[in-house]
Amino acid sequence: MNPYESQELVDQYLLFHYGTAEEVLPYDFGPNAALFFPVRTVRETLAFFSSSNPDGNSRRALDLGCAVGRASFELSKLYDQVIGIDYSRAFIAAADKLKRDGSVSYHRLDEGRSSVELIAKVPEGCHPERVEFETGDAMRLRSDLGAFELVHAANLLCRLARPKNFLKRLATVTAPGGHLILTTPCTWSTDFTPKRNWPKTSTIDFITHHLEGDFDLIQTLDLPFLIREHARKFQWSVAEASIWARKTAE
């Protein structure tokens, strides 16, 4: 069974995406800089290029591996149409309920059998009406998606069976002059990716090898993130982010 279909993971990711600092991390000595990762992947990376729209044309953003949708909603503040795609039907169901109802209840595990009910809400300033969620395979994206001014794929690459296929598809969904944001903790595991498909070099070199024909690398940066398992156990990781500009025809 896909672990990302379990209610335990849905609850964990709703907390990861929508929990307040106090709900996620009850210790003032904890790694606070790692909170709100789905928000920071949008805000901190968009800072490296202009997000203005002087010509007033409708602009589109694609959020691949959107999970329960926080980055998709954040992108709706800047883009007229946002499509969020995830392989997990359970994640998409939670994101759709947020879009439809504005909130969804879930349980945060504290320890053992002890949990507390919390409410995830669509953040203020977002435009849910601009967002559409769908289930899909990032390695086999539907052919009629079209092109987007921004493609965002956070912590997806090392969870794919054939990451090379995914990287090769990105040029077709990123409009010329558009931008691509990739983040990955580079946690390669045979649970998701056969070892023969792991990078033979560093992950950033692997990405560059497959993208440099169609994209220019703008910037790389480190983005820490924190996932709470229970009140005394957390996953602290550092994603390597790379920001790319799609080349225009000469």
Closest by CA to 10, choosing from 85, 84, 116, 120, is 120
Q: What is the CATH number of the domain that holds 160?
A: 3.40.50.150
Cα separation, 247 vs 178, in Å, equals 8
5 DSSP assignment: G
pLDDT means over runs of 10, the chain (250 residues): 85 98 95 97 83 62 98 97 97 98 98 96 97 96 95 97 96 96 97 97 97 96 97 97 90
Phi then psi for residue 122, to 5 deg, are -65, 125
Residue 118's contacts (CB-CB under 8 Å, 6 or more residues apart) are 14, 15, 19, 23, 105, 106, 107, 108
* Residues 122, 128, 130: CA angle, nearest 5 degrees: 155
pLDDT value for 66: 98
pLDDT value for 125: 96
pLDDT value for 52: 52
pLDDT value for 16: 98
Which pair of tokens denotes residue 227? 């996932």
CB 215 within 8 A of CB 244: yes
* Tokens 């950033």, located at residue: 204
pLDDT value for 54: 46
Q: How many domains does the chain have?
A: 1
Domain that holds residue 92: 3-246
Strands (E), 122-232: 131-135, 148-154, 174-184, 215-230
pLDDT value for 53: 52
